[in-house]
Structure 1
Amino acid sequence: MQSPSLSLSGSAYGTTPVFTKGLQNIRATKGQLVVFECRVHSTPTLQVHWYREYDRILDSADFRILRKKACSSAVPEEVCTLVITEAFPEDSGIFKCVAENEFGSAASSAHLSVSPAGDFCGSAPSAEPGTLPAALSRGRCPLGPGQSGIEPGQSRIEPG
Structure 2
Amino acid sequence: MSRTPVSLHVGDVSALARTMRRQFDNLERAPSHLELLNLLAKAGGYRNFQHLKAVQQASQPDSGTSGEARPVAELNLKRVKKAVGYFDLNGRLSSWPKKHSLRMLCLWVLWSRLPARAVLSELELDERLSLDHAFCDHALLRRLMVDYGMVERTPDGSEYRRIEVQPPLEALEVFRRLH
Q: Which TM-score band applies after superposition, normalised by the shorter structure?
A: under 0.3
Structure with higher helix content: 2
